[in-house]
Chains A and B, each alone.
Chain A
Amino acid sequence: MSNLANPTGLSGATTPPPPPPQNPNLVSLTINGKRLTVPKGTLLVEAAKMAGSEIPVFCYHPKLKPVGACRMCLVEIEKNPRLQTACTTPVSEGMVANSVSPNAISGQNAVIEMLLANHPLDCPICDKGGECPLQDNTFKYGQGVSRMQEDKRAKDKAFALSDRIVLDKERCIMCYRCTRFQSEIVGDQALVALDRGGESEIGTQNGESFESPFSGNTIELCPVGALTSRFYRFRSRPWDLKRTPSVCSGCSMGCNTSLHARDGAILRMVARENPGIDDGWLCDKGRFQTLPPVTALGQVTAAEAKQNRPLQPLLRKHGSLQPTTLELALQRTVELLRGYTAVLASPTLTNEAMLALETGLRPMAQQSQFGFLPYVHTPWLLQGKIANLPFAKKIVLLGFDPWTELPVLALWLRKAAQNGGNLVAVGQHNGLFRDSAAWLSVPQDRVGDTTAELLAALTTGKASAPVREAAMKLTCDGPAVLLLHPDLAADASLLFLAQQLAQQLGANGDTGMLGAPALAANARGAQELAPTIASATVSSHGLTGILLLGIDHLVPQSGAKLAVATSRAIEPRSDVEVVLPMLHPYETAGTYTNFTGQRQALLAGGFVGRNVPSDQQLISHLRTALTHRHAGAR
């Protein structure tokens, strides 16, 4: 035999193949008989998902720190005498875990039985019934029968935690998802666990109302029907709801939502996670306050009927508003727009309507002033992506409090602060107070002076002690974020200072974020697609007629006659001449641009009748009516 095949001359004896190179960041393990390799530090419950087997959970949530409170996730781990909770156990090399062994199953049965020992069987009247993890897990991992003969614990049934949230203390399984959300994600400890053992329950520190800008998220997090929404309570069952993906119209954050409607009436809005925009959370302003009034048949109570929105055109005749046809209402609106008049539009109109307004309607009504209410123009368009925020190391907020203006943005900035970012707030309000490295608390009109001082501290070191101290925090390396309140940006000198400061910090759109964010929903879309209207200021003095497009409330009485196109109930004021019904953004298909310039689609989530036009349709109707007027005049 030649040695050609083995030039080294070593014998081809059967040595075992060397073990595959060990990547210190990977761990291989076996779950339910399936071998897999996962990154080190992965929790067993997550590894099981990758292995394609489900481990039931209640308290575990991927966005919250594990606590091991409910014991639902018990698994058997080889060489471990007792069942372990998969949600608190990180994987380790060579681990053999089993969630379907007789031992693990008996553990799951026992936990379900224990949780149900005091759980009321309220499912038929419970808002969660039909989408309830406790129901699902009982079905899949429970025994199916109960051995309990004793009476169940009696606690408060409909305890009003706040004017938005109702707690059923009997249904609570003490998983602490709600309290962990409030302390870990929001950081306000608005909900806490009180008392111990069988008496323990969820509540607020001193029994005060549960006030937090994000309280609605706990309803979604609660794995049972313990936390329920006051507005959605008993309105429907989950299987009756039609779900439509949409975008929140509460502010320019553009959080992704899912609209849930029954018989065309939108009854609730829940989060639809977009990791680049909302991280799965919604604020209460968006969740509870932006929904159109309920109009569908069978859902109207007397109180609702009173505040009901108009669904057909109304025209003032003999001193009162009376139903009329769309043609007559449009005709009257067009007459109203003669002379010294104004068209005020809401920035919550869709992009399509913005374009129709700028290129379609405005050229037809040259004599009228056009503008947005509220004013949306910002001279310093925002640059940067939301995904940059968690990695920001230097954050400066000038007169801008995201906590109230763009609430979900505050959660991102809080994340950055927790990742070691230094947050310096300048201004009167600072909802992120607990996470700020420094708060230079000055009235809004002094923000400019403080900004100048901060800039001086960074460049020359000459400044008062607190400002110098704040500036110290901003000397580190890393991505920078600088946000200026758009109202303050109108002041050219402050704008210049802010831009200087951003440059000094090294803020750029690729790694951080800088600019004066648009605040109202689709305000950025308004500025991009209707630039002339966005930058125009309307002088309200001496107007004879005003057309309000999509604006929720009337402008102050000024002697001008009003034509109102709205999706909400309006005050029956004597200067309202015409009311045109319009679809709410949630009933319209269109697009919104969020404050970073990202365009997202809305789909029609509700239905109020074929005769109600969308914002875009209404604008084109108005344009046609104006064309006829011109034609008639010729």
Chain B
Amino acid sequence: MIEDLKALLAGFFTTLRHMGRKKITLMYPEQKRQPAAKFKGRHQLHKYDNGLERCIGCHLCAAACPSQAIYVGAEENDPKAPISFGERYAKHFEINMIRCIFCGFCEEACPVEAIRLGPEYELSDYQRHAFVYTKDMLLDPEKHAPRRQFHADVEQHRGPIGGKPEGEAAVSGAPKGHCDTPTGARTPRKQDL
């Protein structure tokens, strides 16, 4: 009987102790948590400062993806109006967000840091096709992503990467200053085709 009372009081005391502490739960969805910098949410495709797409259409993300969620179809850049830096760009780029397991392998495989997993995690919708993200949606989710899947408050958290193509040591392990970018960033002599 005494033992039971003791256990009861211990329980009340624990509750009492926690009442004074800081709350760690949130009133979701009214309140939202800002994900950590490394959080792996919806993908973003990035651009350089000069507006050229980072993606060079190399298919490496698609090759690395364990759930075969990515489709890439490449084309040759028109040297007069290039879309990405160098000779090749992704004409088609699709990610099926239903298949994606948000593992981040695509981001690791990318030689030019074009694809990054962003902060957006509220991905819910009523139709399946709303989850097939095309290149436009990944490049500019604010404009093109399905309305239900875009939340400015989360998205603003991690902005674009930007940067300049020249001199970026994109192949990991290359010595600093070494111009080994797969985008041909040494401004090669290029013949008009």
Contacts and interface: CB of A to CB of B under 8 A. Distances in A.
Interface in A364-389: none
B182 A125 contact: yes
A469 to B, nearest CB: 48
A234 B76 contact: yes
Interface string B12-48: 0000000000000000000000000000000000000
A123 B177 contact: no
A343 B172 CA distance: 63
Interface stretch (B85-93, B122-130, B137-145, B146-154): B85-93
B73 A148 contact: no
Contact of A124 (B58, B62, B174, B193): B58
Contact of A155 (B63, B112, B189): B189
Contacts of A149: 175, 177-178
A67 B97 CA distance: 53
Interface in A93-124: 120-124
Contacts, number: 87
Q: Is the interface of B mostly helix, strand, loop or mixed?
A: loop
B60 A124 contact: yes
A30 to B, nearest CB: 38
Q: Which of A122, A158, A234 has the most CB of B within 10 A?
A: A234
B75 interface: yes
B76 A159 contact: no
Interface stretch (A235-243, A530-538, A568-576, A615-623): A235-243
B190 A158 contact: yes
A296 to B, nearest CB: 10
Interface in B161-184: 171, 173-175, 177-184
Contact of B56 (A124, A157, A233, A240): A124
Contacts of B186: 120, 151-152, 154
Contacts of A235: 74
A585 B62 CA distance: 31
Given A122-B184, A125-B56, A298 B178 contact: no
B175 A154 contact: no
A298 B182 contact: no
Contacts of B173: 145
Most buried by B among A151, A152, A157, A240: A157
A608 to B, nearest CB: 17
B118 interface: no
A630 to B, nearest CB: 49
Contacts of A208: none
A299 B73 contact: yes
B13 to A, nearest CB: 61
Given A234-B74, A298-B92, A158 B193 contact: yes
A160 interface: yes
A507 B82 CA distance: 61
A240 B59 contact: yes
A157 B60 contact: no
B191 interface: yes
B92 A237 contact: no
Nearest to B184: A157
Contacts of B181: 121
A22 interface: no
Contacts of B71: 298
Nearest to B73: A298
B75 A301 contact: yes
Interface string A388-428: 00000000000000000000000000000000000000000
A146 interface: yes
B59 A237 contact: yes
Interface string A246-259: 00000000000000
Contacts of B56: 124-125
A156 interface: yes
Contact of B188 (A125, A155, A301): A155
B184 A120 contact: yes
B76 A146 contact: no
B111 A234 contact: no
Interface in B49-69: 56-60, 62-63
Contacts of A124: 56, 58, 60, 111-112, 182
A125 B193 contact: no
A157 B74 contact: no
B41 to A, nearest CB: 25
Given A146-B175, A299-B73, A156 B189 contact: yes
Interface string A123-163: 11100010000000000000001101101101111111000
Interface in A189-241: 233-237, 239-240
Given A149-B177, A298-B92, A121 B171 contact: yes
A154 B188 CA distance: 5
Most chain B CB within a 10 A radius of its CB, from A125, A149, A160, A234: A125
Contact of A157 (B92, B174, B177, B189): B189
A278 interface: no
A76 interface: no
Contact of A121 (B75, B92, B182): B182
Given A155-B189, A157-B190, A122 B182 contact: yes
Interface of A: 120-125, 129, 145-146, 148-149, 151-152, 154-160, 166, 170, 233-237, 239-240, 298-299, 301
Interface of B: 56-60, 62-63, 71, 73-76, 86-88, 92, 111-112, 171, 173-175, 177-184, 186-191, 193
Question: Which 5 pairs from chain A and chain B are nearest by CB?
Answer: A124-B58, A124-B182, A125-B88, A157-B188, A121-B180
